Chain A
Amino acid sequence: MTHYLQIWLASARYSVTRTLMFRFDFFLWATVELLWMSVNLLLISVIYEHTTSIAGWTKYEMLLLVGTSLLVQRFLMGFFWSSIFEMGRNIRSGHFDYFLAQPGNILFMASTRKIDLDGLANSLVAMGVVAYAAHKLGLHPSAWDLLAYALMIVCGLAIHYSMLVLSISLAFWITSAQGMEGIYFTLSEFSRLPREAFKGLASLAFVWLLPVVVVSNAPARTLLHGIEPRWILALVAAASLWLGAAIFVFNRGLKRYSSASS
């Protein structure tokens, strides 16, 4: 375990050095992410200019939900995105050999290689959005509520990570398919919607089959209504299940990986 922590710290140190070398890139990408976050917040504020409730959620409740969803996504971007995105490219090009030769779990080595400080910087902004919404709603969460919220964010991160690994793992089977990460972005759009808005078939698909809605709704509800064990359990179960599935599919795919003749 400490072995992996050391490897991760070495990657982190390398990423910080790289960011300091390419400062312009850091500012550019931090701005890009900030702008995309604003796009989502603007959408909410424009809709609430014309209505008072979306599926029973008020403006600031909705802001809290969107902020939470953005927070999970920023963590994914900061900790894993670059590495997993490159993984797909490497599988297609045959450069993935490099990771097979490394002393450690292949998925760990391949998915934690790079850390993006711009994503992490923006996670602070997302936290700010959540805190601002909580303030506007006059919420005073207890230490336990905050702990539960943090735990749920970690579970949510595990689910997002798994969905991204699953979509990128398709590259083992369909080497010609590009843009598979688009699956992840499309699904994450659903996580900015309140659970109550989903009815019938949509509820079955996006609440029960794919946990995209629970990922954001469960932590947001904890801040709004206090700890609800039902939601925590659902999220922990979904996180374990999806992480298990991602590891399984990745390993199955790995068996198919045949490198590439240059």
Chain B
Amino acid sequence: MRDFSYSRAGSLDEARQATLAPGALLLAGGTTLLDLAKCGVTEPETVIDITHLAGLDAITVDEEGIAIGALARMSAVADHPGVQAALPAVTQSLSLAASAQLRNMATIGGNLLQRTRCSYFRDPATFPACNKRNPGSGCSAIGGVTRNHAVLGTSEQCIASYPGDMAIALVAFDAVLDLGTRQVPVEDFFLSYADAPEEETVLKPGEMILAVKLRNSAAGMRSTYLKVRDRQSYEFAAASAAVGLEFEDDGRTVKDIRVALGGVASKPWRARAVEQALVGKPLEADTVAWAARLAMDGAVSYSDNLYKIELAPRVVTRAILTVGGLA
């Protein structure tokens, strides 16, 4: 890890101002920043520690919804009973992520900004070609081992997948990020890698994620996050789904449904085609299985990851049937 200078931000403005300098990065939990600095993927000149800033780790729950400060730790949000009651999918997405130690360290803001686990991206010494690290240099993953790579939202420039869990649940429930000067829906915050793989979010120098905001909804209260992976714990998703459901008064017709996918796309992936196919219909296993396949429209496989195109709709189906009481 190359050396850098270290300072503690004395105020929020100081922190935001500091990010305008080239090579400056904010340090919160450190689980992504230090990991990538050790891999040689990022080489900051200056690290600005924001963990001492007061007031950015609050979790507030009221009749309107939930607000989670950017410096709240994953474990604090996962253990919050108010979040669990309003949005079980968010709680589960956090509990099923990483390990207990990492959840005690990693913050909500940093979790959103974690970077892909593409093993070619993470190994610059062995694989110099990476359009995400070095635009125009090529993609080492294409033609390589692609078992963990995305099938949706990719391009011939980059097939890396977004690795996070929480953002999948946030996208499903229309979470909004408070960036101080503007409010951005999480879905618009992330960019698809299609043309410019090096640009992953709309966050600009001088900006910082301050909080995540979610509105209460009936579908949110009846929600789940299903994560399927190569081992039972402490692993990234092979495919995952955040799902929420609200029935009409008859208890079987779909009034509102939310579906988002993880582990299969270049960004947290909302599956609106699945939602639209099910609204107004009675919830039945066959209908759900048919609709879930619509999530894979436009999917492109690079052989090793072909299984995801089969797996992801099954994960979506099981998640919907679970919240619908049919699984």
A binds B: no
